[in-house]
Amino acid sequence: MNFKVFLINLDSSTERFTFMDEQLKQLGIEYQRISAVYGKELCDADIAKVYDPQKNLQKYDKKLNLGEIGCYLSHVQCWQMIVEQQLDYALILEDDSVLDPTLINVLQHINNLSADWDYIKLCHGRKQKGIVKSIMLDDRFSLSTCLKLPASTRGQCVSLAGAQKLLATAYPITRPVDIDIQYWYEKQLRCFVVRPFPVIGTDLDSDINRQGRRNNAERHHLLRIWQKVKFEFDLLKYKQQLPPLPKIQK
């Protein structure tokens, strides 16, 4: 299995790096640090190449801040490396993660899955989402399909096929990366969720995400209501396109 672990971390976030480095070493996990894109250092020309404010507001209820653009580009770097190195898949971590020791077991289970998946979420957002279908990986962990994926990107596995699909639909950036992946049906992504979650959040935000806070941004409330209704309708519309669960190969 051609597999790597990528840790996204801003160059200035040395404490965050030390925190993650200690956890990964304790678990015996080799990894590659990915220098996160600092959105505030992007020039206007760089932003214009990857971001369209008009299309942004067609698909999301507020203008993206530089931190959200930088965070998206940081994940793009990881997807590009998966494709360039022809990895079977990669575990992508942000630097605000607490790693449960059972993460090792989960990765072993993922190694035993058939290749019928693109994206496996290992973390949750503010709200845990409902399960549609599920299989047990062992007596503790399950792999599930969900109509609405958890809104967080602090921990996920992305396959080669998944990275290719994500790159094909990345630009122009129109939503924060975690929200964009919730629109799995636009990207034909075969997405799954592991529970209980082996990657959880800390009390401190990642500096990657603290570049600009989503909740403090000016929102277009009527647009938000319309987009939320449309999203819920689309989820029901595309429910039949939820992928079958991968097979467990011993």
Q: Could you tell me how far CA 137 lies from the centroid of its own chain?
A: 21
Answer whether residue 66 is part of any domain.
yes
Measure CA of the first residue to CA of the last residue in the chain; give whole Å: 14
* Per-residue confidence (pLDDT) for residue 130, from 0 to 100: 78
Token pair, residue 201, equals 């959040």
Distances, alpha carbon 90 to alpha carbons 14, 111, 112, 119, 142, in Å: 23, 11, 14, 10, 20
Answer whether residue 207 shows pLDDT above 70.
Answer: no
* Per-residue confidence (pLDDT) for residue 127, from 0 to 100: 62
Average pLDDT, the chain: 93
Answer whether residue 110 is part of any domain.
yes
Answer whether residue 95 is part of any domain.
yes
| Domain extent at residue 134 | 3-241
What total number of domains does the chain contain?
1
pLDDT in tens, 101-136: 999 999 999 999 999 999 999 998 666 667 899 999
Answer whether residue 137 is part of any domain.
yes
Answer whether residue 96 is part of any domain.
yes
Answer whether residue 246 is part of any domain.
no
Q: Which helix (H) or strand (E) holds 16?
A: helix 14-26
CATH code for the domain of 120: 3.90.550
Answer whether residue 165 shows pLDDT above 90.
Answer: yes
Answer whether residue 131 is part of any domain.
yes
Contacts of 73 (CB under 8 A, 6+ apart): 37, 39, 50, 173
Find the DSSP H helices in 85-216. Answer: 103-111, 160-168, 177-182, 184-187, 207-210
* Per-residue confidence (pLDDT) for residue 208, from 0 to 100: 54
Answer whether residue 83 is part of any domain.
yes
pLDDT in tens, 86-108: 999 999 999 999 999 999 999 99
Three-class SS state of 163: helix
DSSP 141: -
- Predicted model pTM: 0.92
Angle among Cα 172, 157, 239 to the nearest 5 degrees reads 70
